[in-house]
Structure formats: C-alpha cells, structure tokens
Structure 1
Amino acid sequence: MATHSTETHIDTHPDLVSLRERYAAVSASPMAGLVEGLCMLTGLYLAISPWVVGFDNFAGLRVSNLITGLALAVLAMGFGSVLERTHGLGWVACAIGVWTIVAPWSVSGSADITKTIVNNSIVGGVACLLGLATMGMGLMKRRTPGRR
C-alpha cells in the first residue's frame, strides 16, 4: 500500500527563507542592538521609577509601573534574541508606553504630583518611540551594493 504525503514544506519556501535572512541581517545590525538595549533599560527604569522618583501615596501606580516595566524589559529581551519573530510585537511596547502616560490619572484617580506625571510621560513617550523603531526595523530592507 502506497502512502501519499500531502505535507507541505513551508519552511523551505523561497519567500520565507528570504524573509528570515532579512530579519537575521537586521537583528545583527548595531541599530537593532541599540534599540533593544534602550528598550530594556526603559523597561527596567519604568519598573524602579516609583522608588527612584518617590511616588508617595500612589501604591496602585507603583504596582502598575513595576508590572509594565518588567513586561517591557522582557519584551526587549525577545527583540534581542529572536527579532524575526518578535518585531511584530513592537506595538506592545507602544501600548505599554501609552498606558504609562495615562496611568497616573487612570490608576491614581487624580495625579496631583507633577513628578509622577512628568516621569511617566517621558518614559511612556520613549517606550512608544522604541516600539515604533522596533516595528520599523522589521520593515527595513537591507540595501545591497549596486541596487537601489
């Protein structure tokens, strides 16, 4: 009895192989390393910022910053290790950034301390920019000499 295999080998498809090679080249670039490192540092700073800046009487905001900061740092580690599979998650860094900006009002009710608002706005903005940069790296085409 002959068996007929209908299994496809998508892993060897030329387009997929080309795409993986492009992402591997982009992830090996110094710019990718810079963006992933900055994203990780941003996440770690966000996690410890309540204690650095001194978010007194804002327990909910401290917990929010700790959790979102650690999530951003873990996401950045994913960007560094497997960019070809995580570049599409750059939007998560943007979402974390937007949440970080609105968290002083959402979590605390009314954030009347300027340092919490300024800190979260700056860190949230940086996280959004790094998320956009990560998504852009996934779309970058590697230029080859002699081609335009």
Structure 2
Amino acid sequence: MYSASTRGYQVMRNPRQNAILEVYQLVLAVFLFVSPWLFAFVHGTLRVDTWVSAALVAVMSFGALIAFRDWKEWINCILGLWIAVSPWVFGFQHTAAMLVNLAIGILIAYLAMLELWLIHYGSSSEKTI
C-alpha cells in the first residue's frame, strides 16, 4: 500500500485503486502512436514527435501500473501538455495532426491530473490512521 500525507493525516491508498486511469493513458498512447498512419501525417517532424511522445507516455503509464510514483503522473501531465501544443511549436496548425494531438494531449494531461487529485484529495471514505 502507498500512503500519502493529506493535511496531516496518513491516507492509505491501494496502488491498484486508480489503475484504470493508467490503462486509459496507455490506450491513448497506443492510439497516438498509430495516429500518423491512421490520419496520414505528412510532416516528418510532427510524425516523429508524435511517436516519441506516445512512446514516453506508454512507458510512464506502464511503469505506473507496475510501481506507482507521483512523479510518473507529473511527467505524463507534462507530456500531455507538450503533445497538445507541439503542432503550434512545429508550425503545423490547421491539420488533422493538430486535432489529434490536441485532443489526445489534453486527455492524457487530464487523466494524469485526475489521478494525482484522487490520490491526494480522494473521497473521504478512504481509511485514515
């Protein structure tokens, strides 16, 4: 069990309690990884960035399924935000790649932040010591 301090109390958390959120992030990463083929991304730079970002999210999500640590969720949140803004950074606005990266990036960041919130400020029905 993982224990996190919340406002002076020790909250006991089952590491598998929010594992479904990691699975969702892993599925989104796999979808993002195959999206250059599904949506025929023509820009090589954005295609490579999408593959690398998706692979990093998948590794972090899988790692969090094995051994959860807060920093893995923070990295996924940062990666999700990077995925969302990378079309503008690389100058590929108004393309299918932009829409895919924006949607998937926001979802990944949202799921990572949701998991962090649930861990630290979850329901009051959790066991406290």
Q: TM-score normalised by the shorter chain: which range applies?
A: 0.7 to 0.9
**In the superposition, relative to structure 1, how do residues 22 and 61 fare at CA in structure 2: closer, same or farther (>3 Å)?**
same
Deviation at 1:76, TM superposition (A): 0.4
- Could you tell me which amino acid in structure 1 is paired with residue 93 of structure 2? A
1:91 has 2:74 as partner: yes
Give the equivalent residue in structure 1 for 2:49: 64
Bigger share in helix: 1
- If asked which structure has higher relative contact order (CA below 8 Å, sep 6+), I would say 2
Q: Percent identity?
A: 19
Alignment partner of 1:19 is 2:9 = no
Note the residue ranges of structure 2 that are not aligned, 5 or more in a row: 5-10
Give 2:7's aligned residue: none
Q: 1:18: Cα distance to partner? A: 7.3
Which residue type is aligned with residue 111 of structure 1?
Answer: Q
- State the match for 1:103 in structure 2: 86
Is residue 48 from structure 1 mapped to residue 34 from structure 2 by the alignment?
Answer: yes
Q: Structure 2 length as normaliser, TM-score?
A: 0.80
Q: Which has the higher strand share?
A: 2
**Is the radius of gyration larger for structure 1 or structure 2?**
1
Q: Which 4+ residue blocks in structure 1 deviate beyond 6 angstroms?
A: none
Distance in 2 between residues matched to 1:40 and 1:18, nearest whole Å: 22
Q: Which consecutive residues of structure 1, in runs of 5 or more, have no partner in the other structure?
A: 1-16
Partner of 2:59: 74
